[in-house]
Amino acid sequence: MTDMITNPPHYQCENVTITVEPIQLCEQCGFLLGNALKYLFRYPHKGKPLEDLKKAEFYLKRWLDNQNNFDVELRGFNDEHLVFKAFKHKEFFAQWDTAANLVDNIEVLLAWTQNKIEELEEETKK
């Protein structure tokens, strides 16, 4: 039986070499970025990909709009951290550059999300 509370299948990592779940990365972020990542992880798995991508876009934009109003601590967003390493294969993290500043990376993540939204909207028009 699937445990939808503590181990939902739509959050499972496809990397079979280690046991890691997206929550282990999301919980290291603030609320806005954590929520954005949550929706990016689950968008292909819950049946409403466009809705989840638009929610991720909302949280990423909100993060960028409010970045100067709060401190953001990201523990683990580096190439050597096991949890981050486990998810580098995800399409939305493929361009994340740990040498870049956080704002640049969030802008890259937002651009990827917006491109994916456009792709899905085009597909639904066909």
pLDDT tens figures, 50-87: 999 999 999 999 999 987 666 555 655 666 777 777 78
List, as one string, the DSSP characters of 10-37.
GG--S-TTS---THHHHTTS-HHHHHHH
Instruction: For residue 114, tell me if it sits in a domain.
Output: yes
Higher pLDDT pick, 78 / 13: 78
Instruction: For residue 121, tell me if it sits in a domain.
Output: yes
- Contact between 111 and 119 (Cβ < 8 Å): no
Closest C-alpha to 32, from 5, 4, 6, 71:
71
Using a 10 angstrom Cβ sphere, with 0-12 exposed, 13-18 middle and 19 or more buried, the burial of residue 38 is buried
Predicted pLDDT at 60:
95
Average pLDDT over residues 111-123: 96
Instruction: For residue 27, tell me if it sits in a domain.
Output: yes
Q: Which residue has the tokens 């550059």?
A: 97
Instruction: For residue 4, tell me if it sits in a domain.
Output: no
Q: Place 17 in a pLDDT band, splitting at 50, 70 and 90.
A: very low
CA angle centred on 108, ends 107 and 113, rounded to 5°: 95
- Domains held by the chain: number: 1
Both tokens of 6, joined, read 């503590």
Predicted pLDDT at 53:
97
Average pLDDT over residues 22-47: 87
Higher pLDDT pick, 55 / 17: 55
Query: For residue 94, what are the domain limits?
Result: 9-125
Q: What global pTM score does this model have?
A: 0.76
